[in-house]
Amino acid sequence: MGLREKKAQRVRETIHHAMLTLVERDGYEAATIEQVAERAEVAISTVYRYFANKDAILLDPVERDVGAYAALFRARPADEDVAVSLGWTVHAILDRTPERRAAVRRLRAQLDHAPGPRARLWDILHREQVLLEDAIAERSGRDQLWNAAASHLTLMIVRMAGDHERGSLDDTAPADYGDRIIAMLRGPDSPLPVRD
């Protein structure tokens, strides 16, 4: 990343942090682009140079990471079993620093109260799922249903681990909780529905 890209990234992060702080203080609906610019100490035109609207500002860290699941999966050895590669992908996605975990919790807390950005988040997650499904299809040799199920389950495990961290007094790290879910799904006590 060059100097220009690093500077642009810092500006984006500053604007995002300003937005998140305002939303935490006043609520999503009350926060304005003008307030965000003032808090970030940038011109309003700078905010609009980087972001189309408030949703885009709030969801910027998520939007920037679209494709991360597929990239992590593709980085695994090509001869590794697909399910094993997906397990490592889940672990890598959830293995965050304490600072990153805190940032994700802050953002999720605000998305719980902001229907517009939450709806946009579902679109972002769908794109992530499709990209991962495509990556799985490249390696699996399986049909579309299998690839879709593998992608859905992978994202479900990540969401469950995130939900656990947010709503539990248990201090299990998200990556460890994801590993527990994977072990349970593959074990004899699997909760997956079956038809006999």
pLDDT tens sequence across 68-124 = 999 999 999 999 999 999 999 999 999 989 898 888 889 998 988 899 999 999 999
Nearest to 94 by CA among 166, 174, 179: 174
Q: Say what the pTM is.
A: 0.88
- Position 37 scores a pLDDT of 97
Do residues 147 and 133 make contact, with C-beta atoms less than 8 angstroms apart? yes
145 exposure class (CB count in 10 Å sphere: 0-12, 13-18, 19+): exposed
